Chains A and B, each alone.
Chain A
Amino acid sequence: MIFELCATSYCVEAASAGEPTASAEAPVDLGALPPPMFDPPAASDVEPLTIKIASRLRCPVCQGMSVSDSPSKTAVEMKGRVRELVAQGYSEKQIVDYFVARYTDWVLLEPTFADHWAVWVVPGLGLGLGLAWVASTVLAWRKSAESLPSDVGELPKDSYEERLLRELDP
């Protein structure tokens, strides 16, 4: 299943490498950008959006650091490119797509749900199973307590007395 999903994005592109001339429509030239989607933003908006976008991108030469964070030359240049594109009015999606087209979705620090749902669903399943386990354990505890003849589990309601009891309980 994962493989099929993969086959619709990156892998297809890799597979088409063998027969590049077959594509009928004009192939995209990554060197020529489509026009920006918006008017150039106000100067004060450029930097926050730059940091936001660059934080989603992986610095290709670093380990685990984002383009926004890394002080490496490559990251600084990539961040500069993000800043340039933001200033020209490109949208966040356009800019992210721009980098994905060049570096594949490997450049995204967070895997997309569409292509990599397993990395999101599996921990969720784990948490769900865990919650079921907690619930069943607590219920089992309660049942065994109810089967006891007396109300040994009942604690004094009075807070003063309660505190004293607990103080003694190291």
Chain B
Amino acid sequence: MKVNVPVLLGGLFITAILVAMLGSGFGHDPREVPKALEGRVAPTFSLVSTDGDPVSLADLRGKPVIINFWSTWCQPCRQEHPLLLMAPSQYPDVVFLGVVYADEPAKVKAYLKSGGQTYPHLIDPGGRVSIDYGVAGVPETYFVDVNGLVIHKEAGPIWPDLLAELVPKMRKP
């Protein structure tokens, strides 16, 4: 039998590479967004809350800060809302900030009125701060330690154990 060796070896090689490449995609979420900010200084900002109070991140240096980006049209944000409502009483030394992402202040105010509010929610005109943080969807939560560094970014809703794990790290100078 006459075997075309180049075709055989080349073809099987290409097949193996291709299958390995396609297989490498399993277990990765193609929709995941890279976390550029972890390990870097949290971008400073000065914004005004829905209640009209100015908040500046630079003034909060030295305190652990949790910044949660959310909006009223996002279902997972609504899911994590009760947890975030409770959190400030559980971790009184941590500053919680909400930043409203791509939403209208009126809708946010109405939502907070009915859903409850325990910490300031900041209006982000033009999404500037969201872009500074590299937000690519909501909810996203940034954990800033006492040195002002982002030690973790969570894309998607957070859960109680995550807070319990990260807050002690944020307290460490």
Answer whether A and B touch in the complex at a CB cut-off of 8 Å: yes
- The 5 A-B pairs of least Cβ separation, nearest first, read A17-B39, A60-B136, A77-B127, A31-B43, A31-B44
Contact B33 A103 (CB under 8 A): yes
Contacts of A16 in B (CB 8 A): 39
A44 at the interface (CB under 8 A from B): no
Question: Does B80 interact with chain A (Cβ within 8 Å)?
Answer: no
Partner of A106, one of B33, B128, B133, B149: B33
A81 touches which one: B37, B41, B128 (CB < 8 A)?
A: B128
Check if A103 sits within 8 Å of B136, measured CB to CB.
yes
Contact A21-B147, Cβ < 8 Å, known A31-B132, A102-B131: yes
Number of residues from B at the complex interface, CB < 8 A:
29
Instruction: Give Cα A101 to B126, complex, Å.
Output: 19
Among A22-30, A111-119, A135-143, the stretch in contact with B: A22-30
From known contacts A31-B43, A78-B127, A103-B34, infer whether A20 and B134 are also in contact, taking CB-CB under 8 Å.
no
Compute how far the CA of A77 lies from the CA of B101 in the bound complex, rounded to whole angstroms.
Answer: 10
Q: A20-B147, A102-B134 are in contact. Are A10 and B34 (CB under 8 A)?
A: yes
Q: In the complex, what residues of A have CB within 8 A of residue B41's CB?
A: 27-30
Cross-chain contact B132 with A102 (CB below 8 angstroms): yes
Report the count of interface residues on A (CB-CB < 8 A): 29
B40 within 8 A of A: yes
For chain B residues 87-103, which have a beta carbon within 8 Å of chain A? Answer: 102
Task: List residues of chain A with CB under 8 Å of any chain B CB.
Answer: 10, 13-14, 16-18, 20-21, 27-32, 60-61, 73-74, 77-78, 80-81, 84, 99, 101-104, 106
Q: Which of B66-91 contact A (CB under 8 A)?
A: none
CB of B50 closer than 8 Å to a CB of A:
no
Given contacts A77-B126, A80-B126, contact A13 B57 (CB under 8 A): no
Instruction: Judge if B157 is at the interface, Cβ distance under 8 Å.
Output: no
Q: Per-residue CB proximity of B121-158 to A under 8 Å, as 1/0? A: 00000111111111111000000000101010000000
A127 to B40, CA, bound (A): 42
Q: A77-B126, A102-B132, A103-B136 are in contact. Are A18 and B36 (CB under 8 A)?
A: no
Q: Is the CB of A77 within 8 A of B131?
A: yes
Q: Which of B1-57 contact A (CB under 8 A)?
A: 33-34, 36-45, 57
CB <8 Å contact, B102 and A74: yes
CA distance A31 to B36 in the complex (A): 14
